[in-house]
Amino acid sequence: MEKKTAKRLSKAAKTRIALIAVLVLAVVCYFAIPTFNSKVNGVFVIFSSMSVDNVIGYIRSYGVYAVIISFLLMVFQSVAAPLPAFLITFANAAIWGWWKGAILSWSSAMVGAIVCFYIARILGREAVEKLTTKTAVSSVDKFFERYGKSTILICRLLPFVSFDFVSYAAGLTSMSLASFLIATGVGQLPATIVYSYVGGMLTGSVKTVVTGLFIAFALFALTFMLKNIYNDRHKEDKAVEEVVNND
């Protein structure tokens, strides 16, 4: 039994060291290799422009490797929260059609979520707070305390909460990877389909469409939360009533 425990601890330690090594290597490459630095900065510039056309042009510029670049971009934006993932989803739909784009966006977002989950699980809270912010992690913690696993679905529908923050926060909980994957897959599927379908028809500015989608999802999420709050209070009132009656 002790040997098995020791092996598990050893494996966990090795995994932690390997992950830290990868992150350190990425940082060193960023500061030591001008070309790598330029590429990463270019990605941030493209995202900051909030232009789907710019993202489309960037992905298409890689030709036959466009699918791989799109996939890596989605994973990158997950780790480098809170870059806007919907820009990639729109771009994928515009390039490959809405349903192919949806498959690519959904699968790459799932991988990105898993990476965030394991970074948090292996490196711990302090590392997550450095990758995101202490305030962001604390705010998501409150969601998890109140809504448990439903937090993943709720936060995916709320436009003002980064889903990447949720992936990191989930890794800090006792939630199993299987539960996280199911909740993540189901939670992000509706938004991915809608964004992809709309993205396949978009031309030019997307500000109005995105605003409309965000409002719709926010209203849905607000209704869901209000229902949970009502049910919680109803249960509390019922519990108090039972105590009074028993007395």
* Tally of domains in the chain: 1
The answer as to whether 15 is a domain residue is no
Specify if 192 maps to a domain.
Answer: yes
Domain extent at residue 138: 33-246
Report yes or no on 23 lying in a domain: no
pLDDT tens per residue across span 178-227: 888 888 888 788 878 877 877 776 654 555 555 555 555 655 566 666 66
**Per the domain annotation, does 203 fall within a domain?**
yes
Q: Is the dihedral of CA 30, 36, 40, 42 positive or negative?
A: positive
- Classify residue 66: in a domain, yes or no: yes
Asked if the structure places residue 141 within a domain, the reply is yes
pLDDT digits (tens, 9 = 90+) for 110-138: 999 999 999 999 888 888 888 777 777 77
pTM: 0.76
Q: How far is CA 202 from each of CA 57, 198, 205, rounded to the nearest angstrom?
A: 15, 6, 8
In a domain, 26, yes or no: no
The predicted-structure confidence for 32-82, as pLDDT tens digits, reads as follows 999 888 888 888 888 888 788 889 999 999 999 999 999 999 999 888 766
pLDDT of 72 = 93
pLDDT of 177 above 70: yes
- Percent of the chain residues past pLDDT 90, beyond the cut: 20
Cα–Cα dist 179/181, whole Å = 6
Question: Is residue 92 over pLDDT 50?
Answer: yes
Query: Which of 185, 189, 191 shows the shortest CA–CA distance to 90?
Result: 191
**What is the maximum span of the chain, computed from C-alpha positions, in angstroms?**
75
> Which residues are CB-neighbours of 1 under 8 A, at least 6 positions away?
none
CB 123 within 8 A of CB 166: no
The answer as to whether 211 is a domain residue is: yes
